[in-house]
Structure 1
């Protein structure tokens, strides 16, 4: 299943994040990074929230450096921001 074709990028991002945080690994990290990219594209098409986009960019960097503490913190910030919208 391609994340690019997901009807709900927010839910996909949250699901991939929960999966990664439950069992961190290369595959789940790639899925979370991909979901973050799709979510960024979606958010850019519907709003101009640069703070949230910056958090998603920081999340991608943390995933690539495998910094689990930062991933967890930034992921929680992004999810909180998404739920408040």
Structure 2
């Protein structure tokens, strides 16, 4: 799955960007983020106003899969997820 597909899927289930995950920025709390830096996809934790714990991925799809599992888990835990 590509980033744009992930965004559409998560939004359809109530997991909005900035709430359940972040794309290139900081979220409203402790959430997982994704961004492309110098041609490489990275995931990170958005915590206490900082991006930390960067992890590089060989492909966009692998980075997206990592964010997906955390975003869905977050959305379900905070009762944001809609089936």
TM-score by length of 1: 0.33
TM-score by length of 2: 0.33
The structure that is strand-richer by fraction is 2
Q: Which has the higher contact order (CA 8 A, sep 6+)?
A: 2
